[in-house]
Structure 1
């Protein structure tokens, strides 16, 4: 007596024109949690550091520049994960919706991610050259020192400003082997970062107009620096600042910087509520892109400036879904 065979199922491949199936809810929620932990919109503010540093050298970006950019991204995200790990107790009281206090990500996983991303960043920096690694090591140390001890001390804002400056110098060192040509733009970027960090110290509770007011004054000064004209003409043997076509791009990017940062700062000055203070901090973080683009444009690298500036709309779009701060 023959045993009947089970009917065989015919496999029908998914037609190529159909979109892939939507991720399972649990997977989508986990992706969102990690995007919040790593402050995904702020990621777009990172490559411009290295690109502005490379532009300051007067040389085009190289493969080593790309490796330095990868190192920069890894180290920045390591700092984001470590930041939330270090602040998990404080966030449980004032921001319980964050991934760690809400239980969506385990603290051990966040700390492990910070360590793995730091190691990856240093490895990429080593591939970019010995001088690049020599800058990546103190950059990594500054990031960990800030998150684990300096953040709530007077040394916190200068430490964060130093980290951004080192990140920009990373691009110069990877491109030419020396960070020296990028010292001036690194100082400008550090000044902007200092203002944002000072304002962020009270973003959870608000209540003070002093920091937003000081940052607003500094933003005005930095706007003038970024839009400043170069002496291109002469009159009776003296240099005369005259408009040049190449100056239009840094001027436009300086105006973009002022719009993105000065406006929310002014709102925070008038009403230093936590919501408006956080909005000013988010605007300052995204305005970093305009600073980087203007620095690249003033260094004579308009293509790099435009490429950097193009990241701003992406950051703003993602910020509508995931908080920058």
Structure 2
């Protein structure tokens, strides 16, 4: 039954608002950070991935609240401009989910986790309410993803997780830069930035000195999956020669953006394998088929 015209919205409308299934792509952030810091997710720390998901969902709700005027013109089918969810309800959801994320972080890691979760929450709100329409948008989103990785490590051991944080931040920077062309098409510069960022992320994941051959092999395998998932779509998002204004097809750009979101998963798995967390890496990588299937039913962008 359609919920169009019902301001309260139905469950499907809320799932669409927060890009529910896409939350599977953030679980591995905390796993990668925890593995690099040598702090397994056990006991109360198992709540850290839930904190990450809550903060991600809050950002998605806030994103649509902030973009409601633009979406009314460019994406009128979304929950707010279509009238299925009111702006006030979306904002209340963003606030509530932010509070839930902070509460879960405090439960999982006390002040050590909050020293990362609070700046992460601030970065999410800054991106959605201030930075998104500016040239600093990719940097703002990259900061959010990097801090999400550090949430798994905790403030006391954040330095030990700097490599996975940088790898996922670089990837996010590229995906965000490319995503600006989802509606009107993208330029060659954004495509090159995305490809360059992906190459850097792959290099950080499988390059450099690794403590064992097994760890290095695991990181390389996951990096190859990452390259096949992400870079191939980014190459396809290049502007067609002779196209008006040298602009890439918006459909190709959106496909590359979705592929970039999916690419978070093998990247996280590779970083976990690099730190020796093979069981965690396998669990994270095993989520990829489900992420792809759910995205075919509900777009993560």
User: Aligned equivalents of 1:46 and 1:286: distance in 2?
Assistant: 10
CA shift at 1:287, angstroms?
0.3
One of 235, 249, 256 as aligned partner of 1:273: 249
Where does residue 152 of structure 1 map in the other structure? 133
Contact 1:195 1:218 in 2 (8 A): yes
Deviation at 1:216, TM superposition (A): 1.4
Q: CA deviation at 1:104?
A: 1.5
| 1:141 to 2:122 alignment | yes
TM value normalised by structure 2: 0.90
The residue aligned with 1:298 is 274
Return closer, same or farther for 1:30/1:231 CA change in 2, 3 Å cut-off.
Answer: closer
Structure with greater proportional helix content: 2
CA distance in 1, matches of 2:265, 2:210: 26
Residues 227, 251 of structure 1: 8 Å contact kept: yes
Is 1:311 aligned to 2:287, yes or no? yes
Partner of 1:164: 145
Please say if residues 41 and 316 of structure 1, whose CA atoms lie closer than 8 Å, have aligned partners that are also in contact. Answer: no
Q: 1:54 aligns with which of 34, 39, 61?
A: 34
Number of equivalenced pairs: 289
Output the aligned Cα RMSD: 1.9
CA contact (8 A) 1:204 1:274 kept: yes
Structure 1 CA distance, aligned partners of 2:103 and 2:206? 37
Out of 181, 185, 193, the position equivalent to 2:160 is 181
Please state whether the residue corresponding to 2:80 is helix, strand or coil.
coil
Greater Cα radius of gyration, structure 1 or 2:
1
**Residues 155, 26 of structure 1: CA spacing in aligned structure 2 closer, same or farther, 3 A cutoff?**
closer
- Aligned twin of 1:226: 205
Counterpart among 140, 145, 170 of residue 191 in structure 1:
170
Rounded Cα–Cα distance in structure 2 between residues aligned with 1:231 and 1:314: 30
Deviating 4+ runs (over 3 angstroms): 24-27, 229-232
Pairwise CA distance, 1:145 = 0.9
Contact 1:131–1:178 at 8 Å: present in 2 too?
no
CA distance in 1: counterparts of 2:181 and 2:215, whole angstroms: 39
Q: After superposition, where does 1:1-325 map in structure 2 within 5 Å?
A: 26=3, 30-128=10-108, 129-173=110-154, 177-228=156-207, 230=209, 244-271=213-240, 272-325=248-301
2:244 matched to which residue of 1? none
Select between 244-253 and 151-160 the one with higher mean Cα deviation. Answer: 244-253
- Does the 8 A contact of 1:229 with 1:247 survive in 2? no
List gaps (5 residues or longer) in structure 2: 241-247
Instruction: List alignment gaps of at least 5 residues for structure 1.
Output: 1-23, 233-242
Q: 2:186 and 2:161 mapped to 1: Cα distance?
A: 37
Q: TM-score, normalised by structure 1?
A: 0.84
User: d(CA) in 2 for partners of 1:163 and 1:275?
Assistant: 26
| 1:139 Cα offset (Å) | 0.7
- Contact 2:3 2:84 (8 Å CA) reproduced: no
